[in-house]
Structure 1
Amino acid sequence: MSLARKPVRIVPKGWGREVWIANNDLYCGKILEIKKGKRCSLHFHQLKTESFYLRSGKLLIRVKQSSASETIEEFELTAGDCMDVPRGLVHQMEAIEDA
């Protein structure tokens, strides 16, 4: 019996694409590919915590503690960095280099 399988879905986005490995009520596993100069929307997740590992490139990360917060913090991720995003944290990723 083989446990190997193909990705669930590939979703084109204006900023690149998502390769869905798994996506259900309890768990989400995706590979995000973001093109240089592109960014995803500023958003948050009510139910899910996210973890990111940057395989290559460089990202500018923007976070704010809540949707009502006026303050946006920025920092960079480079290849090999990890980041955990707890549920409710407003966040956005912008590619400084293809990532």
Structure 2
Amino acid sequence: MDGSSGGGRRVVKRVDKPWGYELIWAHTDRYVGKILHIEAGQALSYQYHRKKEETIYVLRGELILHYAAGGEDPQTLRLGEGEVFHIAPGLRHRFEAAAPVDLLETSTPELDDVVRLEDRYGRSDR
């Protein structure tokens, strides 16, 4: 059973990224659940979302989070295991790892809602 008619097992989808990988373990029309693995020394794009809202939970390691609201200057916050951060639409942010880090992310389902402001890997916004 694929769960499309109410419930059941799902297949976890692995998406390789230049900074590590994502494991998408839930994807419905109402929410998405992912595990993000960021390799040491790597970082995601400095980005924001127009509609997507997400909350992250640090499963393992320490996350370096750069973020800024509106016209504010970016701030840097270090989050350790068990800590949580909410990212509202419009909040500019970047996840970075000095050592390997695993994050649990729950979000609204707009996976393609990414506006990249800066990217180490030469990717442009979608």
Asked if Structure 1 and Structure 2 have the same fold, meaning a TM-score greater than 0.5 normalized by the shorter chain, the answer is yes
Separation in 2, partners of 1:35, 1:57: 11
In structure 2, list runs of 5 or more residues that go unmatched.
2-6, 102-126
**Aligned residue runs from structure 1 range 6-25, under 5 A:** 6-7=11-12, 9-23=13-27
- Contact 1:57 1:96 survives alignment (8 Å): no
Deviations 1:45-91, CA, capped at 9 Å, x for gaps: 1111101111101111000113xx36111010111111111111011
1:28 Cα deviation from its structure 2 partner: 2.1
Q: Is 1:38 aligned with 2:26?
A: no
What's the TM-score once normalised by structure 1's chain length? 0.86
- Contact 2:10 2:25 survives alignment (8 Å): no
Aligned amino acid, residue 56 of structure 1 = R
In structure 1, list runs of 5 or more residues that go unmatched.
none
* Aligned positions, number: 96
Give me the identity figure in percent: 32
Separation in 1, partners of 2:72, 2:50: 19
Task: Please tell me the root mean square deviation across aligned C-alpha atoms, in Å.
Answer: 1.8
